[in-house]
Amino acid sequence: MHLEKRVLVTGGAGFLGSHLCERLIAEGAHVICVDNFFTGEHRNLDAIRTHPRFELIRHDVCFPLYIECDEIYNLACPASPIHYQHDPVQTTKTSVSGAINMLGLAKRVKAKVFQASTSEVYGDPQIHPQPESYWGNVNPIGIRSCYDEGKRCAETLFFDYHRQHRLRIKVARIFNTYGPRMHPNDGRVVSSFVVQALSGKDITIFGDGTQTRSFCYVDDLIEGFVRLMESPDDIVGPMNLGNPHEFTIAALAEAVVELTNSSSRIIYRPLPQDDPRQRQPVITLAQETLGWQPAIQLRAGLEKTIAYFEKLLSAGNPRERAVPKSHHEVLAQTRGRA
Ligand code: NAD
Ligand code: UDP
């Protein structure tokens, strides 16, 4: 007999997923982490791997999963542009088939199910800052579309399962989040700038650096996840979770250079296609319904992130590939060990 709440976390070996698994273990839950290790890392689970209330299953969410659980956090999906653009068809399948499989599982076992959606559903927004009521400005056929449209379709599925099958859903729209355990070569701006600064390489600003993002520290975000999951059943979202403090990419580069005491030069490279000009969440809904708002300022969060990457790089670890594994390699491993 299970006395603890059994919580499934898909994508649990990734950046956000591993922090979430740790938090849930600390709260006394039995955590089942499902991951195909496309971008996830075993070392992210070092603190909990041997915990008696932790289970790890190597599995691809594009395939059905039959287990028993009370809650599901569906995080499985590569999140950085170079990762999700590496195999765009698989990215869409992960969002869409993954959502169908997790919703089907939730329906069978009557679990509550949380979807890690994204600010990318707003595309290159024409309304600023972005409230949840904004429908977005998304290119359906560009190089970011596999991610943006996959996540939009997943939201559609969540709301149809909610209306049609009365499933208890929680949809969070996550804005740029950073912190320890980001993949060092994932090309995301915070990890890239910190790794470049620490290794004395040029810091690459794409475009002129006037585009903006709003950066949330990982601990703040995980607090928002847990509060949303624990909120009453009539709170379903979509709900923006992110830090409303907006920074230009140039200001971020300067802060990283200063905090790392780096001698790196800042250089400019062409802006990637469909790169959003600006992004800033309206978080009134989360503030009013969850009593949640971020507490960690960018400089404090950057200091913790820099300390993590300093340790990782000084350990000579890891000899990372920018794109860790091909999908076929991941699939072969997943099937081989299933
Ligand atoms: P991440 O790449 O570190 O983690 C994703 C995890 O999912 C990895 O462990 C990966 O191996 C796993 N995965 C990928 N495809 C899978 C599949 N088919 N089956 C099983 N596992 C699979 O990324 P993250 O930053 O931790 O993002 C987690 C979730 O949050 C994603 O859904 C992402 O879209 C969403 N999100 C993140 C951010 C952010 O700023 N970090 C912003 C918006 C949304
Ligand atoms: N960016 C940059 N240099 C880099 C990596 C990213 O200037 O080395 C820019 C990128 O063009 C974008 C912003 O930083 O304008 C955030 O990029 P990221 O990939 O982290 O997130 P997203 O674009 O998905 O918000």
Catalytic residue check, 147: yes
141 vs 4, residue with greater confidence: 141
Please state the atom number of ligand 2 nearest to the C-alpha of residue 205.
Answer: 7
Beta-strand pair 112-118/71-74: parallel
Among 117, 138, 189, 256, name the best residue to mutate to test ligand 2's pocket (greatest count of ligand atoms within 8 A of Cβ).
189
Q: What is the pTM of this model?
A: 0.94
Q: Which ligand is nearest to the CA of 12?
A: 1
Structure token pair of residue 168: 């208890």
For the Cβ of 6 lying below 6 angstroms from any atom of ligand 2, the answer is no
Q: pLDDT-derived band of residue 11, with 50, 70 and 90 as boundaries?
A: very high
For the Cβ of 252 lying below 6 angstroms from any atom of ligand 2, the answer is no
Q: Is residue 213 helix, strand or coil?
A: strand
Residue for token pair 């923006």: 240
Residue 225: strand pairing partners: none
For the Cβ of 176 lying below 6 angstroms from any atom of ligand 1, the answer is yes
- DSSP track, 163-187: HHH---EEEEEE--EE-TT--TTS-
DSSP 268: E
Nearest to 275 by CA among 170, 187, 194: 187
Say if CB 96 and CB 146 are below 8 A apart.
Answer: no
Distance (angstroms) between ligand 2 centre and the Cα of 272 equals: 9
* Closest residue by CA, ligand 2 atom 14: 189
Query: Each residue of 198-240: pLDDT tens digit?
Result: 999 999 999 999 999 999 999 999 999 999 999 999 999 999 9
H/E segment holding residue 106 = helix 88-109
- The arithmetic mean of pLDDT across residues 165-188, rounded, is 96
For residue 240, CA distances in Å to 91, 172, 229, 269, 282 come to 22, 6, 14, 31, 7
Query: Each residue of 293-328: pLDDT tens digit?
Result: 999 999 999 999 999 999 999 987 554 444 444 444
256 vs 206: CA distance, rounded Å = 16
- The arithmetic mean of pLDDT across residues 78-100, rounded, is 97
For residue 264, CA distances in Å to 208, 256, 337 come to 18, 10, 44
Say if CB 204 and CB 257 are below 8 A apart.
Answer: no
84 Cβ contact partners less than 8 Å away, ≥ 6 residues apart: 77, 78, 91, 146, 147
Question: What is the predicted pLDDT for the residue at 317?
Answer: 56
For the Cβ of 272 lying below 6 angstroms from any atom of ligand 2, the answer is yes
Whether pLDDT at 338 is above 70: no
Lowest mean pLDDT among 55-64, 151-160, 312-321: 312-321
Q: What is the 3-state secondary structure (H, E, C) of 24-48?
A: HHHCCCEEEEEECCCCCCHHHHCCC
93 vs 63: CA distance, rounded Å = 10
- The arithmetic mean of pLDDT across residues 268-281, rounded, is 92
Whether pLDDT at 169 is above 80: yes
Question: What is the predicted pLDDT for the residue at 325?
Answer: 44
Q: pLDDT-derived band of residue 1, with 50, 70 and 90 as boundaries?
A: low
14 vs 44: CA distance, rounded Å = 7
For residue 242, CA distances in Å to 157, 245, 246, 304, 306 come to 23, 9, 10, 18, 20
Whether pLDDT at 89 is above 60: yes
